[in-house]
C-alpha cells in the first residue's frame, strides 16, 4: 500500500490496510491541490510505533498557514517562529499544570518520541483555508487509527466537541473545551491534562510521559 509517506512505522500498516482504497481515493483527489501538510507528511503522526503509544491528543485539522503544518496535531516545525494561539495556550497550561518552562519552539516531536500520538481528525486541508477537507472521508480513517491506539490502553486528551466525539473509543480520556482563544477560558485553563494523563498511565501500570520539550 503506497500512502506517499516514508514516516509510517510498519506496525501501523495492518491498521491502515482496510482503508487503503479510501486513502488512495483521497490522495488521488488532492493531486492538483495546494495542501497542508505536504503529501509526504500526511501520516507523520504514525512514525511512533503502535505498541509505544501511551497517549493520543486529537486535533481538528492541520494549520492552513503555509509552512506551519507538518503532520503532527498542534505542532509546527522548528523554523516557524510564530507559535499559533491554541498552542500558546497549551504551553501556558503545561506550565500551570506541571511547572515546566514555556517552550520557545512549537515543535512537539519530543512528545511524539515519548509515545504521544498527535492525531488530527482530518489529515489535510487546503493552504489558506481551515477545514477545507472535512468532507473527504478522513474521519473514518482517523477513527480507525484512534481505535488501534485505544486497544493499546492509550489514554486520550480530547479538547473540544470534535475530539470528544471519539470519547467512546477510549477506556480513559481527559476532556475539556478546546485551547483556542475562543474557548480556553471556559474550562481549558486549569484542566491539568498532562498530570491527569500521567496519573491514568500509572494507574494502569504504564510509564508516565516526560512532557518537557
**Per-residue pLDDT tens for 62-80?**
999 999 999 999 999 999 9
- Looking from the CA of 11 toward its CB, the CA atoms found within 13 Å total 13
Output the CA–CA distances (angstroms, integers) from residue 26 to 21, 68, 95, 118, in the order listed: 9, 22, 39, 21
Q: Decide if 29 is inside a domain.
A: yes
* pTM listed for this prediction: 0.96
pLDDT of residue 180: 95
The x, y and z cell numbers of residue 32, run together, are 492538483
Q: Decide if 208 is inside a domain.
A: no
Q: Decide if 86 is inside a domain.
A: yes
pLDDT of residue 2: 56
Known catalytic residue at 2: no
Q: Decide if 4 is inside a domain.
A: no
Q: Decide if 210 is inside a domain.
A: no
Q: Decide if 211 is inside a domain.
A: no
- Structural domain that includes position 153: 10-203
Q: How many domains does the chain have?
A: 1
Q: Decide if 183 is inside a domain.
A: yes
CATH number at residue 163: 3.40.470.10
Residue numbers in the chain where pLDDT is lower than 50: none
CB atoms within 10 A of CB 186: 10
- The one catalytic residue in 61, 97, 113, 210 is 61
Q: Decide if 126 is inside a domain.
A: yes
pLDDT of residue 4: 53
Q: Which of 195, 196, 175 is nearest to 186 (CA)?
A: 175
Q: How far apart are CA 109 and CA 105, in angstroms?
A: 11
Amino acid at each position: 500500500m503506497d500512502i506517499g509517506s516514508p514516516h509510517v512505522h510498519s506496525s501501523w500498516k495492518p491498521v491502515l490496510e482496510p482503508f487503503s482504497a479510501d486513502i488512495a481515493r483521497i490522495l488521488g483527489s488532492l493531486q492538483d491541490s495546494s495542501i497542508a501538510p505536504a503529501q509526504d507528511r500526511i501520516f507523520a503522526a504514525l512514525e511512533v510505533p503502535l505498541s509505544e503509544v501511551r497517549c493520543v491528543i486529537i486535533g481538528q485539522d492541520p494549520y492552513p498557514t503555509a509552512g506551519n503544518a507538518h503532520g503532527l496535531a498542534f505542532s509546527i516545525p522548528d523554523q516557524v517562529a510564530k507559535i499559533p494561539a491554541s498552542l500558546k495556550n497549551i504551553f501556558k497550561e503545561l506550565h500551570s499544570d506541571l511547572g515546566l518552562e514555556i517552550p520557545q519552539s512549537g515543535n512537539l516531536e519530543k512528545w511524539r518520541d515519548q509515545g504521544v500520538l498527535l492525531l488530527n481528525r482530518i489529515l489535510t486541508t487546503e493552504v489558506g483555508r481551515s477545514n477545507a477537507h472535512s468532507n473527504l472521508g478522513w474521519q473514518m480513517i482517523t477513527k480507525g487509527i484512534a481505535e488501534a491506539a485505544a486497544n493499546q490502553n492509550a489514554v486520550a486528551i480530547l479538547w473540544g466537541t470534535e475530539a470528544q466525539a471519539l470519547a467512546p473509543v477510549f477506556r480513559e480520556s481527559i476532556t475539556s473545551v478546546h485551547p483556542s482563544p475562543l474557548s480556553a477560558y471556559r474550562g481549558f485553563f486549569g484542566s491539568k491534562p498532562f498530570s491527569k494523563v500521567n496519573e491514568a498511565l500509572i494507574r494502569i501500570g504504564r510509564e508516565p510521559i516526560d512532557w518537557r520539550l
